[in-house]
Structure 1
Amino acid sequence: MSAVSRHLSGKSVGRKKCGKKRCTTRRGDRTLRKIVEKDRFQTLGDLRKQWTESGVETSRATVHRRVLLNQKQRQKRLTWATEKQHWTVAQWSKVLFSDESKFCMSFGNQGARVWRKTGEKEMPKCLKSSVKYPQSVMVWGAMSAAGVGPLCFIKGRVNAASYQEILEHFMLPSAEKLYGDEDFVFQHDLAPAHSAKTTGKWFTDHGITVLNWPANSPDLNPIENLWDIVKRKLRDARPNTLDELKAAIEASWASITPQQCHRLIASMPRRIEAVISAKGFPTKY
C-alpha cells in the first residue's frame, strides 16, 4: 500500500534502480581475464582462488559466468531470448537443430578444459601438448521434435565447401525424414564455415530459412543434450578401434527416441526464460 501511495503522490519518480547489485566491478572482471590468460587450463576452483586473492570475493557460479561471455555477447543472448520469449513449443518444433561433436577413444579422460572465447581456438595459450593423442572422430548431426536425422562422420577440417557438402547430403535428407514437405527453419552456430558468404548463398538458393543464433550459446541448443546421451552410452561400449567407435556412435544415436527429442524441444521456452532471468549469462542447460 505504501508503494502505491508513493507512486500516486509522485514520490517514486527518480527513485534508484531496483534489483540485485552487481557483485563485481568492471576492474575486477578485467583482473579475472588476466588470470585466465596466464593459464587457460586452470580449474574453476583455481580461478576463483586467484580472483579471491586479488581482492574479489565471489562464488564459483559468478566466476563461470564472467569467463565464458563478454558483455556484448551477453547482450546479444539477452536480446535474442527476448525476441523468442513468446515462441511456442509448436514453433520450436519447426526448427531443425544441428551441431558437430568430437568423440574420442579414451572416454575416461576427455582432456583438460580450456577457457577460451570464439576465435581463440588456435591461440598457443589455448593449446596444451600431450604425449599421446587419442584417436577421435568428428560427427555432424541434426534433430527436431520428431527425432534425429542421419549422422555424418567428418573427414579433415570443415571449411565452407565441405560444410555445404554436409548440408547437401545429410541436412537435406534429415529435413526430408523429419518434416517431409512441411516448411522448417534450420539452426546452426556461428562457426566460420557456417557463416561464410557462400554458405549463406547455398541456403538462399535452396530456399531454406536459417534461424539467427547468438554466439557461445550451447545451452540454447538441445542437440547438445543428445551428444551427452550418446557419450554416456559409449562409456559402457568401450570401443577399441575407430571402426568400433563409429559403429557404437551410430548405434547409440539410432537408439534416441522421438519422445526424447520432443522433451528436449519442449524445454526451449524454459531455456529462453533462463537466459532472460540470467540477463544473458550462461544457464544450467
Structure 2
Amino acid sequence: MCPEPLVNLRNPEWFQRTYAEVLNVVQNFQWFCMTNTKLAKCLAHFNWTINDWKRVIFSNETTFYVIKRKNKVKIWRTKDEQWKEGCMEVAAIGGGGRVNFWGAIASEGTDNYLIPKVHLYQMENDFFYQHDNARYHVSRQVQTKLHELGIKLSEWSAKSPDLNAIKHLWSIIDDKLKSRSISSVNELTEALSTEWLSIKPELCYELVFTMSKKIQKCIANNGKYIHY
C-alpha cells in the first residue's frame, strides 16, 4: 500500500490556501522593495532646500467626473438617520461622464505644456521634470523624446503620490467644482479650464515649499506612505 502523500494535490482548498500564502509573500516583498527604494530617494534629497525644489517641475494626471466628486462628504448622523434625505447624496453610475486632466506646476505657477513652461520661467539649463513612473511615461517612445529635448528627469519610485507636490492640487480644484452646477462633460471641461487658470502662483509655491517636510516625514516613517 502506498503511503498518503504529504500534499493532497486533488484538494482544491490546498491550492487556494497555498496560492493565497504565496501571493501574500510576493506582495509583502514588493512592498518591502518599494518602501526601501522610496526611502533611498528621500535620503538622497534630504538636504535639498527650497531653491533646489524650485528647479523641479511636478506633473501628474487625474480624472474628474461630472457628478461624482473626489473628496467624500462626511456628516454626523445616528443609525436611524441613514436613509433620511438630508443624510444621502445623489450619485450616478460612472460619475455621469469624466474628463482626464494632465497638468504641471513649478514654484512660479501652473501650465499644461512642459516646454513653454521651461522657456517662460527661464529654466532651460537647470530644471528637473518629475512624473509618476506610469507605464506610458516610461515607454521607450516617451523616454526617447525627453532625451531629444534634453529634459532631465527627477527619479522617483513608483506609487509615490505622497511625494508629488501637485497631487494636493487636485483636491483643491475638486472642492471648487462643488460650487458649480455641472451636468455635462463639456461643462466640466470648461469649469476645469477656468479653475486651472485661476490658480495663483502663491499656491504653487506653497505646495512646492512643503516638499522638504514631505521628505522628512517619509524618512521618519521608514519610506512608508504619508498623508499629503
Count of residues paired in the alignment: 186
**Matching residue within 260, 264, 276 for 2:207:** 264
Establish whether residue 280 from structure 1 lines up as the match of residue 223 from structure 2: yes
Establish whether residue 253 from structure 1 lines up as the match of residue 196 from structure 2: yes
Corresponding residue for 1:72? 33
Is the Cα contact below 8 Å between 2:38 and 2:157 reproduced in 1? Answer: yes
Is the Cα contact below 8 Å between 1:147 and 1:178 reproduced in 2? Answer: no
Structure 1 letter corresponding to 2:221: A
Is the Cα contact below 8 Å between 2:108 and 2:204 reproduced in 1? Answer: yes
Corresponding residue for 1:135? 97
Give the number of the structure with larger relative contact order, counting CA–CA contacts within 8 Å between residues 6 or more apart. 2
Secondary structure at the counterpart of residue 99 of structure 1: strand
Displacement of 1:132 in angstroms is: 3.5
Corresponding residue for 2:171? 228
Deviations 1:41-99 (A, max 9, x none): xxxxxxxxxxxxxxxxxxxxxxxxx99x7111000010000000001110100001000
**Matching residue within 81, 85, 101 for 2:46:** 85
* RMSD between aligned residues: 2.5
Corresponding residue for 1:167? none
Structure 1 letter corresponding to 2:197: A
Fraction of identical pairs, as percent = 28
Q: Which runs of 5+ in 1 are unaligned?
A: 1-29, 35-65, 112-130, 151-169
Corresponding residue for 1:106? 67
Higher CA-based Rg:
2
Secondary structure at the counterpart of residue 102 of structure 1: strand
Corresponding residue for 2:108? 146
Structure 2 letter corresponding to 1:132: I
Structure-2 change in CA distance of 1:278 and 1:183 (3 Å): same
Corresponding residue for 1:171? 114
Structure-2 change in CA distance of 1:244 and 1:283 (3 Å): same
Which portions of structure 1, spanning 4 or more consecutive aligned residues, are displaced by more than 4 angstroms? 108-111
Q: Which runs of 5+ in 2 are unaligned?
A: 1-19, 73-91
Corresponding residue for 1:183? 126
Is the Cα contact below 8 Å between 2:130 and 2:154 reproduced in 1? Answer: yes
Is the Cα contact below 8 Å between 1:85 and 1:269 reproduced in 2? Answer: yes
* Distance in structure 1 (CA, Å) of the matches to 2:106 and 2:168: 13
Secondary structure at the counterpart of residue 101 of structure 1: strand
* Distance in structure 1 (CA, Å) of the matches to 2:181 and 2:135: 33
Displacement of 1:107 in angstroms is: 2.8
Structure-2 change in CA distance of 1:108 and 1:144 (3 Å): closer
